[in-house]
Amino acid sequence: MEVFWYIAIALVLAVFFILDGYDFGAGIIHLFFAKKEKDKEVIAKSAGLFWDSNEVWLVAAGGMLFMAFPTFYASVFSGFYLPLIIVLWLIIFRAIGLEFRGQFKYQMWKDIWDASFGVSSLLLALFFGIALGNVVRGVNLGGVENGASAYEGHYFFLPLWDSSFSPLSDTPGIIDWFTIIIGLISVVTLAIHGANWVILKTNSSINNKLTGVVFKLNIVLAALTVLSLIVWQIVNPNALNNFIERPYLIVFPIVYFTGLIGLFFIKKFKKENQGFLFSTLLIVGGITSSLASLFPVILPSINNTHEHLTIYNTAAEHYGLSVAFNWAIIGFILLIVYFIVQKRLMGGKVDKMDYGH
């Protein structure tokens, strides 16, 4: 049951980053590339019509995590308390930026909320990438210093950054040069995804320009990917062991590199949905490759005093997992129906759809 719930939660998280990821990406595109008011309005609309339904998947993932792996849930929500509060405020300002910009026609009013939408989207993409970097790198479980634990073995606390700014420190912070690299990969990936979404869902005047933007960003992403693989070996020399011991897991990096290579041909795509498909493969492949490299660990310990948190030592009792399985079927059906209805109502281009007035 632990493996089932691990896969289910990973799937829901991947869906969240595919769906809300294009909202983050649209915000980044809106911030840097939308200059005309008509383009700003339609790009904001391409995110605004979908953001609230897309975040249902994040709520679902959080609920499932609490139910299936309560010890892990307690650990990360206390240890990452500060960045989680920052993310919460960024989500709030992104939402009100979208909802408020169309309430009045004063340009200064629109500029304020456009900045709120764009900057919040950019920082959300960065912080979610940094969060993944922390999970991959590991944390100081138990708060061990000089061989002594400050608290129980499954708890930790991280400052926003450590004075050394190094992932190799005994007491690393949330932000260091390794997690920044992963954060930048997240920003670039979601910017590509958002650009493909804008191309797919709008008739914006910058759509042709965005094709070239995606191509250039893909070059940056390829360079960052190579860099991350090199530094990952420095941070964790055993990072690729899972792929050697379980060769079938190589399918996940293949998915990622299929998306990466495919996007180099974006200028030759005949259909608008092809770019979005390949950027979706980027997100799915990136998340699943990271999780596969750790399995069955879900939060590594960087000290030798306390063991890693795994899907087995953080899971709820078997009875609870079994009972939840039946309710999960009902929940997934409702979630999928909700998703299908919402997407069918919002099918096609969004240019003439009403939002924010």
pLDDT digits (tens, 9 = 90+) for 133-192: 999 988 888 877 777 776 777 888 888 888 888 888 888 889 999 999 999 999 999 999
**327's tokens:** 């309710």
Could you tell me the CA-to-CA distances from 233 to 156, 229, 236, 239, 347 in Å, in that order?
A: 24, 7, 5, 6, 44
**334's tokens:** 């409702």
The mean pLDDT value for 292-298 works out to 89
Domain coordinates in residue numbering, the chain? 2-344
Please report the pLDDT score of residue 268 as a whole number.
87
pLDDT digits (tens, 9 = 90+) for 99-134: 888 788 888 888 899 899 999 999 999 999 999 999
Please report the pLDDT score of residue 244 as a whole number.
87
pLDDT digits (tens, 9 = 90+) for 223-234: 999 999 999 988
pTM of the model: 0.91
Query: Given a cut of 80, is residue 350 above it in pLDDT?
Result: no
Task: Please state, in angstroms and rounded to a whole number, the distance separating the CA atoms of residues 243 and 218.
Answer: 25
Sign of CA dihedral 42, 46, 47, 49: positive
Q: Is 144 exposed, middle or buried (0-12, 13-18, 19+ CB in 10 A)?
A: buried
Task: Please state, in angstroms and rounded to a whole number, the distance separating the CA atoms of residues 167 and 170.
Answer: 8
User: Position 98: which residue type?
Assistant: L
Sign of CA dihedral 121, 50, 88, 301: negative
Please report the pLDDT score of residue 38 as a whole number.
86
Strands 297-299 and 309-310: antiparallel
Task: Please state, in angstroms and rounded to a whole number, the distance separating the CA atoms of residues 27 and 191.
Answer: 8
Please report the pLDDT score of residue 356 as a whole number.
55
- Which contacts (CB < 8 Å, 24+ apart) does range 327-335 have? 328/8, 328/64, 331/60, 335/56, 335/57, 335/60
Q: What is the CA radius of gyration of the chain?
A: 21
Query: Given a cut of 80, is residue 17 above it in pLDDT?
Result: yes
pLDDT digits (tens, 9 = 90+) for 76-88: 888 888 888 999 9
Task: Please state, in angstroms and rounded to a whole number, the distance separating the CA atoms of residues 47 and 66.
Answer: 28
Exposure string for 59-74, b = 16+ CB within 10 A, e = fewer: ebbbebbebbbeebbe
Average pLDDT, the chain: 88
Asked if 170 and 140 touch (Cβ cutoff 8 Å), the reply is: yes
Decide: helix, strand or coil at residue 101: coil
